[in-house]
Structure 1
Amino acid sequence: MNSKAAQAVISNPRAHGDAPSVSVSSSQLDKLRNLNIGAGILHLVSGVVMVILANDFSLPITSFNLNGPPGTPVSEGTLSTLIDVRLAPLTAAFLFLSAIFHFLISTVGFRKYGDELRHGRNRFRWVEYALSSTLMIIIIGMVTTITDLAAVIGVAFANVSMILFGWIMEMVNRKGEKVWWTPFWFGCIAGVGPWLALGAYLLTGDQRPPTFVYGIIFSLFFFFNTFAINQWLQYKEVGKWSDYLVGERTYIILSFVAKSVLAWQLYANIFIPTD
């Protein structure tokens, strides 16, 4: 780590009065406000539909205990159901979280949102992603039979770590200065963990999951990676991504599409009432 990056991580100067580095006009900010409002409304409508129309389909969160010292045969262990989790409300939750944050930065947080963008960051985004995308990866894991409590916790915290590295990436880098890429690559390492776990469960099970599960995994794996690509394009300043606001708009669109793809695949294959 170079001295500038080390100082940024320790004292976090960008959170305390650093000079703006991105030009943001009033018209650009108004367009982003409208985009956020539109995304918030669509997320809200999707969430309400999930709550009202979806069935009661649930999956268990489990715990496995060997009931003995290390080395006890697995056959002597006990698999216990800790709680049955309805997936529709959990799906609605990540949609509602997104709606809340879109409305927050479009209303009472709008002035702060503009200030964040002028400094080449958006901490609202990273807080929302840490919550909503973690719910998403938990749901994806559950439909892939990752239901053990310890595994769910591990997957969740790996995902949160990935998001926080994205946050750090924005906090320690300023437009026009040499980019410190370490947070980006550490985020990629943390982010690949949950997907390796999903792949392991798919490949080692005695029975293959339904086709729609593969559709969910491959489509969401693609969309999760597009967020990393968007940030890479921002800091490489490739083409129109040299404008930080292009990356911001792309984040909003990607977030809406990724959440909608997961929610409606779940609805079409699991949540539609059958009676």
Structure 2
Amino acid sequence: MARTTRTPDDRIRRLRPYNLVAGSLHLVQAIGFGVILAMLDTQVTFGVTADYLAGPPGFPLPPERVDLFAVNVGAGVVLFLALSALFHFAVASPVFFPRYGAGLRANRNYFRWVEYALSSSVMIWLIAQTTGISDVAALISLFAANAAMIGFGALQEKYEEPGSGNFLPFTLGSLVGLVPWIAILIYFLSPGSTSTVEPPAFVYGIIISLFLFFNTFAINQWLQYRQVGPWSDYLFGERVYITLSLIAKTALAWQVFSGAIIPALTG
């Protein structure tokens, strides 16, 4: 049987239902998580704090710690999934699909980068808080560093062509993107801590898993711009991005959400 050859326009049209499927699955999970949260008697929240000077700079006085607000981790995961669903539905809508298709023909998808800048930065905030980072300045900085990493990914797509061999925006983005994970690793390992409490062994696996799932999107772009195998076709890479949105984001959401509801169920 002869293999059907589809034109680029045909393949772009086929991405429309795939985006609808991805958006629907994210939305179903977001609603499901929201229902579970509503059924819980207690919620897992992490405080966001600020340490203000309590005396002249340089004096060994303990700072004044202020609790600014609290973040509901479960609600944060719902927001993460809802943002993903919103953008999948947006690019499949009659309003934005023509622009989405035109961008793909030019090897670009700016919708993707806007969504990633928001949703992945929400996720890095949540992961940071689960390891004990609570300072508002630190959390804002990690959020911004992650968003900047995504911005460099967008610049790679805007100014470089796949196969050109130029990776300056990608490289700079990778370096910036490591900063939040270095901070998370420091808090996770707790060097200098006198506490005898150690995280269970499975928590180490979760942190490694979160890191790997989080960075599969960067690997996909690297393969796309290196023109490795089927990634030499930009539309193949776009389909992989949507697949990763289904698999990697779901795995991230479930791992962080389970960390939010298990203490509430067992506490």
- For residue 274 of structure 1, give the secondary structure of its aligned residue in structure 2: helix
1:130 aligns with 2:117: yes
Partner residue, 1:94: 80
- For residue 55 of structure 2, give the secondary structure of its aligned residue in structure 1: coil
CA distance in 1, matches of 2:173, 2:20: 29
1:263 aligns with 2:228: no
1:79 aligns with 2:69: no
Counterpart amino acid of 2:229?
G
Contact kept? 2:50, 2:66, Cα under 8 Å: yes
Contact kept? 1:144, 1:209, Cα under 8 Å: no
Deviation, 1:175, is 4.5
Partner residue, 1:147: 134
TM-score by length of 2: 0.88
Contact kept? 2:162, 2:232, Cα under 8 Å: no
Aligned residues: 251
Counterpart amino acid of 2:176?
A
Partner residue, 1:30: 13
Counterpart amino acid of 1:112?
R
Deviations 1:191-232 (A, max 9, x none): 000000001111224333455543432112102222111111
Matches within 5 A, 1:173-192: 173-175=160-162, 178-192=164-178
CA RMSD across the alignment: 1.9
Contact kept? 1:66, 1:73, Cα under 8 Å: no
Partner residue, 1:195: 181
Q: 1:39 aligns with which of 8, 18, 22?
A: 22
Deviation, 1:89, is 1.3
- For residue 83 of structure 2, give the secondary structure of its aligned residue in structure 1: helix
1:165 aligns with 2:152: yes
Relative to 1, partners in 2 of residues 1:80 and 1:211: Cα closer, same or farther, differing over 3 Å?
farther
Deviations 1:238-266 (A, max 9, x none): 11100001111111111222221122123
Relative to 1, partners in 2 of residues 1:144 and 1:92: Cα closer, same or farther, differing over 3 Å?
same
Counterpart amino acid of 1:41?
S
Partner residue, 1:274: 265
Contact kept? 1:61, 1:85, Cα under 8 Å: yes
Greater mean deviation of Cα atoms: 158-167 or 246-255? 246-255
CA distance in 2, matches of 1:179, 1:24: 27
- For residue 145 of structure 1, give the secondary structure of its aligned residue in structure 2: coil
Partner residue, 2:34: 51
Counterpart amino acid of 1:27?
D
Counterpart amino acid of 1:140?
I
Contact kept? 1:59, 1:142, Cα under 8 Å: yes
Contact kept? 2:213, 2:251, Cα under 8 Å: no
CA distance in 2, matches of 1:162, 1:130: 8
CA distance in 1, matches of 2:51, 2:203: 24
Greater mean deviation of Cα atoms: 228-237 or 94-103? 228-237
Partner residue, 2:198: 208
**Structure 1: gaps (5+ residues):** 1-22
CA distance in 1, matches of 2:65, 2:204: 26
Partner residue, 1:15: none
Identity across matched positions, percent? 46
Partner residue, 2:108: 121
Counterpart amino acid of 1:170?
E
Relative to 1, partners in 2 of residues 1:137 and 1:213: Cα closer, same or farther, differing over 3 Å?
farther
Partner residue, 2:3: none
Relative to 1, partners in 2 of residues 1:42 and 1:211: Cα closer, same or farther, differing over 3 Å?
farther
Partner residue, 2:97: 110
**Structure 2: gaps (5+ residues):** 1-5
Contact kept? 1:24, 1:117, Cα under 8 Å: no
Contact kept? 1:172, 1:180, Cα under 8 Å: no
Deviation, 1:120, is 0.3
Relative to 1, partners in 2 of residues 1:143 and 1:259: Cα closer, same or farther, differing over 3 Å?
same
